[in-house]
């Protein structure tokens, strides 16, 4: 006898085959414990509002300094930020780090520490390169992330490391000539038009993703959430997917010699590993969907380039649309089959 895991998808399939009425379906959902109760909704809303409130408070502090920068004295700037860090640290100690309020307070302290470093650099004009700010901020966040054991601090640390690598590469190792003319826009453009930088960012994010998945497999409670490893995977995929699309669509080898086959090869490797791992080692349909979406983008870009060169004009639009629909339908059919195998325990 095949054992079927009680999930919403399997219950929907059973209800469809048995043609259950609406009251019977609701009763089945209740018996399978698939519908969250009032306490679960209250916990979710409480966590969401607390996290949102913390982000809004720290964003408001940053906006306050940006708006009143000229009117505040040096001592007032430092006193406000250091006082905010001290208050956040006291709250984290008072509420304990195993509570939502304590974790939010510790995150606020880590974020305010970065604002304090930025204010220090502006007030005293140290002349340090911007990458030094993010590197120092990451060094401050690291012990807090180890102590706090919360995913939010590790994500903040990862974002800071990404900014450090981007700024160090574009300002020290291989600074573009138009950086001063266009500022951040040129930096972002340069980030996706250099396969070497994309490889560094891919390695950084892929390493964080692999370590997180490994530690989550050891049943560490605070690392069981799927949002943050998916964010790491999104960063890793994005850093090699965008240069690959630029190469395919714009013939990047001729436009920019800094684009190379490294990005497409890393993308193919990442897709292959993830398709195997999330089918047979750890069940995650979201990651499988992301892999298929990346593959569809690249295949569609190749198709568009060749069809436009061969057919030209609007004549290629219909075959392209049909091909995209066929790819999406095939991906959905395959994902549904994987979901059924996973639910049945096969």
Local confidence band at 1 (pLDDT 50, 70, 90 cut-offs): very low
| Residue 284 φ then ψ, to 5° | -160, 95
pLDDT on residue 253: 45
**Domain ranges within the chain, ordered by starting residue:** 66-176, 191-346
Torsion angle, alpha carbons of 236, 239, 244, 245, to 10? 110
**Which is more confident, 315 or 2?**
315
Pairwise CA distance, residues 60 & 81, whole Å: 12
pLDDT on residue 313: 57
Residue-wise pLDDT for 259-287, tens only, equals: 677 888 888 898 898 888 888 887 788 88
Taking phi first (over 0 means left), then psi (-120 to 50 degrees means alpha), and beta for anything else, what does residue 26 get?
alpha
pLDDT on residue 32: 56
Contact 344/4 with Cβ under 8 angstroms?
A: yes
Mean pLDDT of the chain: 76
**Which is more confident, 161 or 245?**
161
Local confidence band at 36 (pLDDT 50, 70, 90 cut-offs): low
Pairwise CA distance, residues 154 & 251, whole Å: 37
Residue-wise pLDDT for 51-87, tens only, equals: 777 777 777 777 776 676 666 677 777 787 788 888 8
Residue 33 has pLDDT above 60, yes or no: no
* Listed residue (259, 165, 149, 265) closest to 205, CA to CA: 165
pLDDT on residue 290: 87
Residue 184 has pLDDT above 60, yes or no: no
């Amino acid at each position: 006898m095949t054992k079927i895991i009680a999930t919403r998808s399997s219950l929907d399939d059973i209800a469809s085959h048995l043609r259950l009425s609406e009251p019977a379906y609701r009763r089945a959902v209740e018996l399978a414990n698939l519908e969250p109760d009032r306490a679960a909704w209250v916990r979710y809303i409480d966590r969401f509002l607390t996290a949102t409130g913390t982000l809004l408070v720290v964003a408001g502090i940053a906006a306050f300094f940006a708006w009143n920068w000229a009117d505040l004295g040096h001592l007032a700037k430092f006193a406000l930020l250091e006082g905010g860090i001290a208050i956040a640290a006291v709250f984290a100690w008072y509420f304990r780090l195993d509570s939502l309020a304590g974790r939010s307070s510790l995150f606020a302290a880590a974020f305010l520490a970065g604002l304090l470093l930025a204010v220090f650099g502006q007030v005293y004009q140290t002349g340090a390169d911007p990458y030094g700010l993010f590197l120092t901020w990451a060094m401050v966040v690291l012990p807090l992330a180890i102590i706090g054991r919360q995913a939010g601090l590790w994500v903040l640390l990862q974002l800071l490391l990404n900014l450090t690598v981007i700024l160090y590469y574009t300002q020290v190792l291989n600074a573009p000539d138009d950086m001063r003319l266009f500022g951040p826009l040129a930096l972002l453009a340069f980030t996706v038009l250099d396969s070497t930088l994309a490889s560094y960012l891919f390695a950084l994010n892929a390493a964080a993703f692999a370590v997180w998945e490994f530690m989550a497999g050891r049943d560490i409670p605070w690392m069981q959430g799927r949002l943050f490893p998916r964010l790491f995977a999104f960063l890793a995929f994005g850093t090699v997917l965008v240069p690959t699309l630029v190469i395919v669509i714009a013939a990047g080898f001729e436009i920019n010699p800094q684009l190379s086959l490294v990005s497409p090869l890393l993308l193919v490797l990442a897709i292959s590993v993830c398709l195997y791992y999330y089918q047979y080692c750890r069940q995650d349909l979201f990651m499988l969907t992301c892999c298929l979406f990346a593959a569809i983008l690249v295949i569609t870009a190749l198709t568009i380039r060749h069809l436009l060169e061969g057919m030209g004009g609007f004549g290629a639009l219909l075959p392209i649309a049909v091909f995209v629909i066929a790819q999406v339908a095939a991906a959905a059919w395959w994902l549904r089959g994987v979901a059924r195998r996973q639910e049945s325990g096969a």
